[in-house]
Amino acid sequence: MNATTAPCSRRLRLLQALFNLRREEIRPALIAALFFFCVLTALMLLRPARDALGMERGVEGIRWLFIGTAVLTLAVNPLFGWLVSRLQRLQFIAVTYGFFVLSLCGFWALLMFAPGAVGQRSGQVFYVWFSVFNLFVTMVFWALLADRFSSDQGKRLFPLISVGGTLGAICGPWLTSHLAEPLGTPNLLLVAGGFLLLALATARLLLRAASEQTTDMPAAVVVTPSETGAIGGSAWAGMRAVFRSRYLTGIAAYILLMSVLATFIYFSRLQMVAAVSDSMDARSAILGNIDMWTQVAVLILQLTLTGKIIERFGLGLALAILPAVTAIGFIGLAFYGSFVVLILLEATNRAVQRGLARPAREALFTVVSCEEKYKAKAFVDTFVYRAGDVAGAQTEGALGRLGLAMGGLVSVVVPLALVWVALGMWLGRAQKVRDHLIRSGAPGSESSP
């Protein structure tokens, strides 16, 4: 070994030790991480403004915006399913991202050339649009990863790839804080659109890179050039698949419970922020700081524990940790109902959700059929997720109107968390069984119940 190759070998061994990477997986994994970085940077550039605009008509107004978002995601799902059925992967990804880029340009034009038309109603439209945008751009990203990587690769590589998203989620608020004044808020929309276009370019690179590496992939899921055609099937196939398959129904139930409990935290935060200040700028700053420090916690978790927990203990335990942490956090909040405790609860919940539970639940989709990876996943990650938001928002509001407040929330959260833990453990076992069937070449294993 000469002096030139020795440092490269040491860096390769370091990557392998930290993330259990193999040589042929380094390029697609890093491209996927860059892809996620661009997506999350675009999202987090705009998120603080979304929350601040949504609060202009009070917390109760946001509950109704959740209903509008859920209805819109349900309406959009058949259209997305139709695109998946008829277009190649890169084409329907380009159409999806291109639509959101054009929408950002439309909002920019409104803010620049008709600022007098911008009011509460426009803020509500932007809130609903952003909520749909947030779900679809991330869903498309993870669906592509589940399609391009095997189950074993998903367990090993998704934690590393998630680091790219976390860096983007840190970079987004940082860019907002540094660019909002010199460029103006409207121009931040164009910056976000630019990152989406970069994400589309990296999607193209990922399709090419992942197709070239097939080592350690079972024959049932190896990517071949013939798979780059249209997936086919019905526009409604994703919805039907979720209700036909116990496995997909279980994933939907897990995400529904996650969304309900996350919404409890979200509205508790909004109420406390509203009590702290009635200034939109001050609220944006508070919400932005919470997002920033939360992402730092996520990054630390991803770099230290996520991959090791999934590899050593499996997906089931990784999925069960989030509900356990959420229940403990709510109990602590019931005893010490301060803003600081709420921030700790939200930061811990998001860190575990994004740093550990998200890579684990995305690995669940590596053992379903190609059509289910895009269509069923779209239905689960958009409508089911937003249905959980609606259920959580209305439940939290009803408990508040009854005067039960935090004590009432805890009485709901703890039983739900116990069901959530059991469901996470079951999904981990079911994924392992499906993966074994795929590796053994069992016919129809990817579409089993």
Instruction: Find the mean pLDDT for residues 239-250.
Output: 93
**Per-residue confidence (pLDDT) for residue 287, from 0 to 100:** 61
pLDDT band at 9 (very low <50, low <70, confident <90, very high): low
d(CA 333, CA 129): 32
pLDDT band at 374 (very low <50, low <70, confident <90, very high): very high
The tens digit of pLDDT for each residue in 112-157 reads: 887 666 556 666 788 788 888 888 999 999 999 999 898 888 888 8
100-104, 134-138, 261-265, 406-410: lowest mean pLDDT where? 406-410
Instruction: Evaluate whether residue 337 is within a structural domain.
Output: yes
Instruction: Give the range of the structural domain holding residue 402, as residue numbers without chain letter.
Output: 24-214+236-442
Instruction: Evaluate whether residue 227 is within a structural domain.
Output: no
Q: What is the CATH number of the domain that holds 160?
A: 1.20.1250.20
**Per-residue confidence (pLDDT) for residue 363, from 0 to 100:** 92
Instruction: Find the mean pLDDT for residues 311-320.
Output: 88
Contacts of 53 (CB under 8 A, 6+ apart): 123, 124, 126, 127, 280
The total number of structural domains in the chain stands at 1
Statement: residue 52 has pLDDT above 80 = no
What is the average pLDDT score of the chain? 80
**Per-residue confidence (pLDDT) for residue 364, from 0 to 100:** 94
d(CA 203, CA 74): 26
**Per-residue confidence (pLDDT) for residue 228, from 0 to 100:** 52
**Per-residue confidence (pLDDT) for residue 379, from 0 to 100:** 93
The tens digit of pLDDT for each residue in 279-294 reads: 555 555 666 666 667 7
Query: Which residue, 292, 314, 298, 268, is CA-closest to 412?
Result: 268
Statement: residue 195 has pLDDT above 70 = yes
Statement: residue 370 has pLDDT above 80 = yes
Instruction: Find the mean pLDDT for residues 80-105.
Output: 91
The tens digit of pLDDT for each residue in 96-111 reads: 999 999 998 988 888 7
CB 220 within 8 A of CB 159: no
Instruction: Evaluate whether residue 100 is within a structural domain.
Output: yes
Instruction: Evaluate whether residue 151 is within a structural domain.
Output: yes
10 Å CB burial of residue 178 (0-12, 13-18, 19+) is exposed
Instruction: Find the mean pLDDT for residues 198-204.
Output: 95
CB 287 within 8 A of CB 52: yes
Statement: residue 337 has pLDDT above 80 = no
Statement: residue 12 has pLDDT above 90 = no
Instruction: Evaluate whether residue 334 is within a structural domain.
Output: yes
Percent of the chain surpassing pLDDT 90: 29
* Token pair belonging to 363: 């690995």
**Per-residue confidence (pLDDT) for residue 217, from 0 to 100:** 46
Instruction: Find the mean pLDDT for residues 22-30.
Output: 85
Statement: residue 2 has pLDDT above 60 = no
**Per-residue confidence (pLDDT) for residue 215, from 0 to 100:** 45
Statement: residue 94 has pLDDT above 90 = yes
163-177, 197-211, 296-310, 311-325: lowest mean pLDDT where? 296-310
